[in-house]
Amino acid sequence: MSVTRRQALARSGAAAASIAFAGTISELFAGTAAAAEPGPEAAAGTGGYGPLVPDPDGLLDLPEGFRYRVLSREGDELRSGEGKVPSHHDGMAAFPGRAGTRARTHLVRNHENRPTAAIRVPAVKDLTYDPMGMGGCTALELDAGNRVLAEHVAIAGTAVNCAGGPTPWHTWLTCEETEDKAGTNGYTKDHGFIFEVDPYDPRRTGAVPLTAMGRFQHEAIAIDPRSGVVYETEDAFDKPFGLFYRFLPHKPLGGRGSLRAGGDLYAMRVPGVRDLSTVQETGTTFHDIEWVPVPDPLAKQTPIRFQDFGPKGITHAQKLEGCYWGGTSVYFVSSFAKSADGSAADHYGQIWRYDPQRRRLTLVIVFGPNTDVQLPGESPDNITLAPSGGLMVCEDGNGAQHVFGLTRRGEVYPMARGRQNIGTPEKPEWGEFAGVTFSPDRRTMYVNCYTPGTTFAVTGPWRH
């Protein structure tokens, strides 16, 4: 039996944002820290931190008691002197300091740069894959007060670095959301790969594509910390849409550089389901999920989603984006599906849970459109676990952009609202949020504004 919950959001001033979803909340957080007994927010009857207070500096609205620090902005000089801070801040992860510097935090930040990007990731010797690639990652080292101690290029010469995910051995897997081959857009090498980035010393990982993990429009990854299996989402822009993959490494949980040893790539087949958008009832569960070997992971002639997976076909979904591991399962997001684009049905966002031990897939959350209140930006994107349990969700769509919180009791609340207008007074637009993550001590939320590229550190009375 599914449970429907509706919650109004962001009633701070004249404008109000709102969201609605239907879902089995207890299922979403099963086996995670968020499944613990309800915290003090439950007794107070709300999971939020109150209305958003307009920022007098016009950058970031937060609840009372919270404050932000701008760590880095597009066009500023990198502290390393290698060039300017690149454009299009996207996926990001935070890592603990090394021995002797435990109080420090290391951030690795993606730059989703296409050939038209205003500011490329500077091409640095031994860290550049393709000199014609504009994307890559930068790394920041922060002290306990979130002051920037260092900022430098971590990988360059890649393309459209959208999201990715951390490994259990504290490296970052950055994902190229493209399948352009050499000769396209001036590229000298094929693109569409995953690269491993060491946040402490990027030269230890270099710029080596993990080719066995597939060449496609990657979005995000999550790793099963017990088995080392890597799950991958594909955000393909056209029909047939992307697939959900698993990669079985030859050296599972082998530490930095172990994924270069290769492995086997599979795509998920849900028996009887060609398009996940057709599943509309939360709590719907599919058993005996199949994993089909990918015929040509390098997509030498044909993109993987077009390849022949046999008479049963394969299961597709539009806008497969965020991905994370929680408890005993991997969760992944389909940000939206539109029949006008070629999807079999419409929705404004789904969150799925796959339990590998039981080979069971469950639709946990559905966002609109068959509700009387809808997410204004239409779709959830990046997601991360919050300190008090529940999730933080980056909105990806039109209108004012928010970071929303979702508690384990099913309440939805605004955590941040962007104020950077990148449009015109007649047609205002706001830069979307991306890369939301928390410091290892859970006392700081880091989040990016995509355009103009800005990285924020948000501190305040977080509930733990």
- How far is 235 from 319, CA to CA, in rounded Å? 5
Which single residue is written with the structure tokens 């957080």?
Answer: 29
Q: List, for residues 400-439, the tens digit of each pLDDT value.
A: 889 988 787 767 889 999 998 888 877 877 889 999 999 9
Per the structure block, which two tokens stand in for 407? Answer: 């508690």
- How far is 51 from 11, CA to CA, in rounded Å? 6
Mean local confidence (pLDDT), 301-313: 97
Q: Phi and psi for 340 in degrees, rounded to 5? A: -65, -25
Q: What is the mean pLDDT of the chain?
A: 87
Question: Closest by alpha carbon to 325, among 364, 367, 383?
Answer: 383
Instruction: Provide, rounded to the nearest whole percent, the portion of the chain with pLDDT above 90.
Output: 71
Q: What is the pLDDT of residue 390?
A: 79
3-state SS class at 43? helix
Mean local confidence (pLDDT), 289-294: 98
pLDDT(220) > 60: yes
Lowest mean pLDDT among 26-30, 207-211, 305-309, 370-374: 370-374
pTM: 0.90
pLDDT(332) > 60: yes
Mean local confidence (pLDDT), 16-40: 44
Q: What is the pLDDT of residue 464?
A: 81
Mean local confidence (pLDDT), 249-262: 98
Q: List, for residues 378-392, the tens digit of each pLDDT value.
A: 456 677 888 877 788
Which band of pLDDT confidence, cut at 50, 70 and 90, is reported for residue 397? low
pLDDT(56) > 70: yes
Per the structure block, which two tokens stand in for 106? Answer: 């290391």
pLDDT(319) > 80: yes
Neighbour count for residue 235 (Cβ, 10 Å): 23
CA 315, 237, 428 angle in degrees (round to 5)?
Answer: 135
pLDDT(208) > 60: yes
Q: What is the pLDDT of residue 380?
A: 62
Looking at per-residue pLDDT, the higher value among 262 and 24 belongs to 262
Mean local confidence (pLDDT), 59-71: 97
Looking at per-residue pLDDT, the higher value among 372 and 233 belongs to 233
- Which helix H or strand E contains 44, and what residues bound it? helix 40-44
List Cβ neighbours of 235 (8 Å cut-off, separation of 6 or more): 162, 177, 217, 218, 219, 242, 319, 320, 321
pLDDT(365) > 50: yes
Q: What is the pLDDT of residue 409?
A: 72
pLDDT(17) > 60: no
Q: What is the pLDDT of residue 141?
A: 98
Instruction: Provide, rounded to the nearest whole percent, the portion of the chain with pLDDT above 70.
Output: 86
Which band of pLDDT confidence, cut at 50, 70 and 90, is reported for residue 369? low
pLDDT(373) > 90: no
If one looks up domain 4-459 in CATH, what number appears? 2.120.10.30
